[in-house]
Amino acid sequence: MVRCILIFFISSLFVISENIYSFQLTEDDPLISVIIQSSDGAQGSKELKVGIDPTASDGIDQHLGEAELPPMPPNGIYESRFRLPDSFISSWSDFRQGEGNLVGERTHTLYWQLGSNSDGLHLSWTLPEKMGIKIVDLFGGIVVNYSFGSGSNSIHITNSGITEVEITLSYDSVVGVEEEEEAPIRFGLAQNYPNPFNPATKISFSLPEKAKVTLEIFNALGQKVFTLANTDMEAGMHSVNFNAASLASGIYFYTLSAEGLDGGSFIDTKKMILLK
């Protein structure tokens, strides 16, 4: 009899604790929220969330639905979660600071353990227009290396030696694109899309003021192979198409240099991969 009462008490306490936990996670609507469904094909699935919001930080933002999780469960039990950037805190949601008209990237670290009898990790998502996603392993994309644009896509990671990836979301003025008369608030260079590419890709960047712009392509030896732009450009969002039909497969770099007429300056370099 005492045992039955004890079990009932513990069960009731768990229900009460769970309700309190849910109440504490009452959340605001983030500026952009992307749901990533994660499953091991054996024990179930997790709904993970990433995105941007002006109020987000690199730590736990409870008002956006982030919550610190306990340690991973024992081996053989499926789990997937994000590792937040300012510590080893983990959460099922990871929102980063971002304003409207954002052009740039945010990288999230996803790690997991597969359940018993799993055939690998399955990820699926749907991105809004003007967004892209890149998923690579921590070895520089040797085993896992995927890039997609907007719309619905999925991947299946079968290599059991891979238990962590970097998920980079690229934003190309996703929010507030109707306000075309407003200039971006900062210089920015986006990751080219698609990447890897064959043979054409698009490079986007933002200028908060009129500037002298140089956009150049370099090979892995640092030799300049193309100059895509060398001219004055007005403030705003810009995109340049690059056709690499005459180049061999390999790693290339593109550098944007901008000298604003109001005194601002900017230089940034990003890597891209040509696969033929």
pLDDT at 20: 29
User: What does the pLDDT profile of the chain (276 residues) look like in tens digits?
Assistant: 444 433 333 334 333 333 322 223 335 678 889 999 998 988 778 899 999 988 898 888 888 889 999 999 999 999 999 999 876 899 999 999 987 677 889 999 999 999 998 989 999 998 888 899 999 998 888 899 999 988 888 999 999 899 999 999 999 876 533 334 455 778 888 888 788 889 988 898 888 899 999 999 999 999 999 999 999 998 888 888 899 999 999 999 999 999 998 888 899 999 999 998
Cα(34)–Cα(43) distance, rounded to whole angstroms?
Answer: 23
Per-residue model confidence (pLDDT) at position 182: 53
What confidence score (pLDDT) does residue 262 get? 81
Scanning the structure block, which residue is given the tokens 């999925």? 154
Q: What is the pTM assigned to this prediction?
A: 0.55
Q: Measure the CA–CA gap between 135 and 196, rounded to whole angstroms.
A: 12
Q: Where are the alpha helices (DSSP H) in 129-229?
A: none
Rounded Cα gap, residues 248 and 199, in angstroms = 10
Calculate the alpha carbon distances from 173 to 5, 180, 213 in Å. Answer: 59, 10, 20
